Amino acid sequence: MRLFYKAGACSLAPHIVMAELNMVYEIEAVDLVNKTCASGDYKLINAKGSVPALRMENGEVLTEGAVIMQYLADQNPEAGLMPKLGTTDRYRCMEWLNFIASEVHKNFSPLFRSSVKNAEGLKELKDGQIETLKNKIGFISEKLGSNDFLMGKTFTVADAYLFTCLGWGKFVGLDVTQWSNIANYMGRIAERPAVMRAMKEEGLLK
């Protein structure tokens, strides 16, 4: 399998999942500005032009990070990165994936790229997005409580995704460590060998 990625972007989450599962995989960096990669025109691989994209063993390309992570986890269900099919926990984990995608990931996006050009407008946009993110992270902090991970004691694909998104806080002036349990959560995940491996492979760690 081959994962098309941009270092530190949302594609880090499925990269972490692949490392957690100790899969045999390749990664290929994408220039999202020019829509190119080592294979050539990236739009020919993923017409959406975004990352991540996963070329599966059958040659087909799967897109959308939350879906890719579920697919990867289902290749080795015994690893427990997704709860078993048909269980309530499975849907709770999917619920988290959807929340992170729609309420966390998407609220970070305008802080990295915006069509607003004037300084006053940019500040207003940033302040509004930061406040929205604080509300979302506050909700996560409340639900996380004293648990190790979003689903309790077990690390899942939802944690790989949330860790990736919250890691962007330092680039936009949002200190997620103001929530003590979130700070502990981030530190706990950062120490996982698979997480360190994925980050090193993307050049994010030495």
| 16 and 92 together in one domain | no
CATH code of residue 154: 1.20.1050.10
User: What does the pLDDT read at residue 44?
Assistant: 98
| 55 and 97 together in one domain | no
| 94 and 188 together in one domain | yes
Alpha-carbon dihedral 33, 35, 39, 44, rounded to 10 degrees: 170
Span 60-111, pLDDT tens digits: 999 999 999 999 999 999 999 999 999 999 999 999 999 999 999 999 998 9
Phi, psi of 118 (to 5 degrees): -80, 150
Span 183-196, pLDDT tens digits: 999 999 999 999 99
In a domain, 206, yes or no: no
Q: Which domain holds residue 106?
A: 88-192
| Residue 121 reports pLDDT greater than 80 | no
Exposed, middle or buried, 127 (CB in 10 Å: 0-12/13-18/19+)? exposed
**Is the overall model pTM greater than 0.85, yes or no?**
yes
What is the domain count for the chain?
A: 2
State what percent of residues in the chain have pLDDT above 70.
98
User: What does the pLDDT read at residue 116?
Assistant: 61
